[in-house]
Chains A and B, each alone.
Chain A
Amino acid sequence: MTAKLTLRNGIAAALLIALALLPVYVQVMHAPFLLTLFTRIIILALAAVSLNLILGFGGMMSFGHAAYLGIGGYAVGILAHEGVMSGFVQWPVALAASALFALVIGALSLRTRGVYFIMITLAFAQMAYYVVSGIARYGGDDGLTIYKRSQFVAPVNLSNKVQFYYICLLLLFGTIYLVWRLVNSRFGMVIQGSRSNDTRMRAIGFPTYRYKLTCFVIAGTLCGLSGALLANHTDFISPSVMYWTRSGDLIIMVVLGGMGSVVGPVFGAIALLVLEEVLSGITEYWQIILGPMLLLVVLFARGGIDGLLTRIGGKEQA
């Protein structure tokens, strides 16, 4: 995959540069609100990129991806609640907990395929939701306030909004790069091969179950990172971040942005969250517009934004 200068790649590059320069704009225009919004967008974009690894490239339709947002977030929240403030402890625990959950869920769910897989991942994520809602010690339904963000060594201070924004952005870039490398590696080829024809991949000797499970765990872990960031961003964590509609939002981001490419979900996250912001400014009942729009996207705009840009660019995607 050599990066050619197509319209799509141009826009992707422009977008990434724009994201990098956003704090400057915020500073000049005095619009701190934008910084908060885009920090959130970037964090959820990271989750969407991780979902795309299994959904777009692996063909595993997980409808429970938001569970890792909650697990990553609660790892940070619970540790902070118990007095462990160091990010060097909190974040690895968040990642490990997400990885472990993904391993268990994946090992069970990957025994099935298709609709079963959708429903099972959904059901397990809901289970996690109910379990967390039931733990009164950590706020139950009401959630858990995080009084202090994760502590790192001296120059790094997550409470500084601009610094936090850049940390999130760097992590997003890192994730995109990681996923891009993964997808184009031998491992990624096996995963994509198994999406197209699992039986054939097994026939030529690949233990696809193990490959898919590994991929599932990687995606879950990355999403756990996003959860840890989200908890730090909102200074709060509640079961609602792992509610199944949140998993639906993540799928929307991936499909809206385009499943065929690594950066697609970033387009999708920006489009969905900005759209939400704009629509909710117009009417209180904005979901009445968003719902049918989704249906229309499904019916008429295959390949999402990324596919659209590729088609306008008039070149086949590399």
Chain B
Amino acid sequence: MTTKSKRPAEVDAPDESITEPGTVDEDRPESAPAIPEAATPDDGPEAAKTKPVDEPMPTDTIDADSDPATPADSVPAETAAPSGMSTDPGAAAEPPPAAEPVTEVTEPLTEAEPDLPVEPPAAVGELATALSRLRAAIGGATYPLVMPSAEEAGRIGTALVSQLDDYLLPRLARLDAPLLVVVGGSTGAGKSTLVNSLVRAPVSTAGVLRPTTRSPVLVCHPSDSPWFRQGQLLPSLTRTAEGSSDPRALQLVSAPALGPGLAFLDAPDIDSVVEGNRALAAQLLAAADLWLFVTTAARYADAVPWELLTTARLRGTVIALVLDRVPPEAAGEVSTHLGEMLAARDMGAAPLFVLPESALDGQGLLPEGAMRPLRDWFAQLAADAEARAAVVKQTLDGALAALGPAVAGLAEAADEQAKAAKALDERVTAAYRTGRRTIEAGLQDGRLLRGEVLARWQEFIGTGEFLRTLESRVGQLRDKVVAAVTGRPAPGRNLQAALETQLVTLLRGVAADAAEQAYSAWQAHPAGAALLDPALQKASADLPQRAERVVRDWQRFVLDLVRSEAGDKRTLARGTAYAVNGVGLTVMVAVFTSTAFIPTGAEVAVGAGTTIAAQKVLEALFGDQAIRTLAARAREELLARVDVLLEAEAARYTDRTAAVRLELEPGAALRQAAADVERAREEVALTGTPS
């Protein structure tokens, strides 16, 4: 920012612009937002001349000089008071607050107008584009899973979006728009009274009831009101002309007593029982070029406002503090303590005005004397376009710089969401995979399925009861032999008898187990526990019907399979079947002999012999191998159908995380957009320190 603008004619020469030692080394704009860079001692007096914008950024406590009770305390304040706020009542009173600065300001403004395009518009445009993209990315990110970071991220995301809409984008579009001072603070701190006293008119209702102000009031010079009325800034608030209690309305009041280029916004409180007020106040504060934080002697150590102050500091908003309602005897101690607290929180550079507890005049305004330092400070600011621009740019730059870390937090939260969703899905998958394995093991020996295939085959071929018996006897014998040889126990029952029932029971049992397992796995995960509902603990209600359907469909498939496989062999097979009855009879006798008369030990040998014979016969007849192949295919098919069934069951869980899984790396988009904004911000270099 190269300015060689003429200094506006000042009442007081700024020659004694004193810099605070503690603020000297702060040269990074985002970390020392309230301290413009000119404060570095190297610049020395030259800086004081060339960068007069710094003066309205005082660095120390300013006491109400009109307060006779605190002469000792006001001494350091006076020495440190910047030129703009002369402690000399005469000097300060000399310029009529409204008239003279106005005329003077108009001149620098006309000079400043051509100054603005000096900044590369392309870079600003690029920044605006990057911001729009970032806004889309933030608006698009969701945090549906309950995680430690999610609620916070959702809140920050909403806040960032509204900050972008309410402030950053409109402000970037018009850097020369009037400076908006948001007066915020606790309920009962006297914000409305302060605003009224600043503009010397009862524009905002003050009262004893808490909270008093429900709907924000914006006070500006008549010449500025078109800008505020057109609603680029804070677009979500409806503009009204008269007061209302609707929190979504913004009352616009013109006050000629106020200089142009400066507007005050009386915000609702941040800590009363009215929930909406806090959100609205936070939104308004995010739109502030300068935050005038009002607190009182009773309140200045409250936790809630300090949280907001910390947020504002991190965001780089320029802050000024008013300590209101100070009992005369407490002024020294309280202001010192507040100063310590500010310093401890890295806000020691913010100007502090102390207003004594005083009776209001007939109009409900604070006495002129007490208000003077504050009024003078603002008059100075109003008079100096450069100073205003510096404040605007500093806050804007700070807010832009603060986007990076905030968005990084969001990106992390988004990544965590994706990670948690993945972990949850894995738990569900594991549970249902166990179920599938159980079913696979249940079908392991294939007898069940071969029985089904064989039965269908025989039904299809149309062989008689005799051959069927023969086949089943042979089958049993073979299993016995296999059992004797391999040592596996022989089956006790004929599984085929109730195939449907058995399969359905198996499926139901497995689905119930898996649902329960998945349920307890999710319950152990904070995000999972929030997604659960009791119905998930059991398998879905229509599972028995669907399992039955799966089994029936599979049986039809087996039938079709047999049909297509047998096809033309049918007649041949039937003929052969009858023709071979004699052989069958022989086998039958062999079987009978082996089971009825031969002792167990010998059974094996004969059985094996018979089995081989029987198998040969069967192979000759139907091709036992073909049946085995068919059985294997039937098994595969059954497992595939079971998979579909179990997947549908698992989907009851995984559907709940589906919203998160759409993007694999949701954080990446946010990080990219934030990095673009940061790059563009550095190029634009609002505060004149390209890094």
A interacts with B: no
A contacts, CB < 8 Å to B: none
Please give the residue numbers on chain B whose beta carbons come within 8 Å of chain A beta carbons, in ascending order: none
